[in-house]
Each structure stands twice: as structure tokens, then as C-alpha cells.
């Protein structure tokens, strides 16, 4: 199933690498990834698309929320 995650994270060097590294460590392939700054220059918006089982995605979301650089993780809608 295809999942889109929206992640707000600190705009610091290495933050994207830590998030992508978490996915790699869980053997989840990222289909697409877009990063942009928000109105607050200290915060970036990361939009990520991946395929995976629902339970795997839930586990990754929980682990992503534990990363120091991550402010918020949302999983708006899962699409088949």
C-alpha cells in the first residue's frame, strides 16, 4: 500500500540524513521525497512517499517521532 508522510523537522544539517537513515535501517524504500523550508526558516517540511504494510508504516512513524530533529509526523491518507 502507498503511504504519504508529512514530517516537520528542524532545519539543521544532518536532519534529513537521520530520517532517511531510519527508513533504510528498516529496509523501507522511499519512492519520492521533497523537502522545503516553511515560513519559519528554522523548520523544514518533508513530504515522503513509500510503499509498505500498515503495521510497518505505523512502527516507522512511531520511531520517526522519537528522532531529536523531528517536530511532527502526520500520515494524512493511505492510498492503495
Here the CATH number for the domain that contains residue 53 is 3.30.70.260
Residue-number span of the structural domain to which 41 is assigned:
2-74
Query: What pTM does this model have?
Result: 0.83
Is the separation of the CB atoms in 70 and 7 below 8 Å?
Answer: yes
Can you state the angle between helices 15-25 and 54-65, rounded to 10 degrees? 150
In whole angstroms, what is the distance from residue 3 CA to residue 51 CA? 6
List all residues 6 or more positions away from 76 whose beta carbon is below 8 Å from its beta carbon.
4, 6
CA atoms within 13 A on the CB side of 19: 29
pLDDT digits (tens, 9 = 90+) for 3-33: 999 999 999 999 999 999 999 998 889 999 9
Q: Is residue 32 part of a domain?
A: yes
Number of domain units in the chain: 1
Amino acid at each position: 500500500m502507498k503511504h504519504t508522510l508529512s514530517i516537520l523537522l528542524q532545519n539543521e544539517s544532518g536532519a534529513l540524513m537521520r530520517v532517511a537513515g531510519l527508513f533504510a535501517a528498516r529496509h523501507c524504500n522511499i519512492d519520492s521525497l521533497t523537502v522545503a523550508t516553511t515560513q519559519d526558516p528554522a523548520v523544514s517540511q518533508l513530504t515522503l512517499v513509500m510503499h509498505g504494510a500498515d503495521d510497518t508504516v505505523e512502527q516507522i512513524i512511531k520511531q520517526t517521532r522519537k528522532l531529536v530533529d523531528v517536530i511532527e509526523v502526520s500520515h494524512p491518507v493511505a492510498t492503495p
